[in-house]
Amino acid sequence: MSYFTYMESPIGPLLLAGEQDGLRKISFPNRKESTSDWREDAQPFRETARQLTAYFAGELREFDLPLRMEGTPFQLSVWRALRDIPYGETISYGELARRIGNPKGSRAVGLANGANPIPIVVPCHRVNGSNGKLTGFGGGLPTKERLLALERGLLATTQGEIPWQHPKKNV
């Protein structure tokens, strides 16, 4: 059975979805997700929420969560490589393509990056254009800027528990 809940965060409400044994999706408020086939239950996401809260408070740099990512072998290789980009650093799509052994595959890497179902935890926000400029991000460029500022210690965050919130039934 698939479960979901909403979590309030400094970048807006996040939809968390998955199964008892792993996180499958994090979705930003600007994404439309149908939750009609899922059961609303925050319990399977307590650890995810705890780690995200610590990340947004500047206290966590690397997530340790069970993930249930589904994609093509190529997408999975890109998503694994994303997790190797150090906290607070950025690389280009071309560099990411080189790291997975496909130096001419920057466009394909960009598509796989854009299909990442678990942003923040799998840090697709750490990839930019070859000129260093911010490029597309599922949560929007302002959100990408905020995540990168947070990781560079430039974003003031508040300590403490982030409240659970159910802003919409279908984000």
Which positions are annotated as active-site residues?
A: 124
Q: What is the Cα–Cα distance from 69 to 139, expressed in whole angstroms?
A: 19
Residue 24, phi then psi, degrees to nearest 5: -110, -25
23 strand-pairing partners: 18, 67
Work out the end-to-end distance of the chain between its first and last CA atoms, rounded to an integer number of angstroms: 20
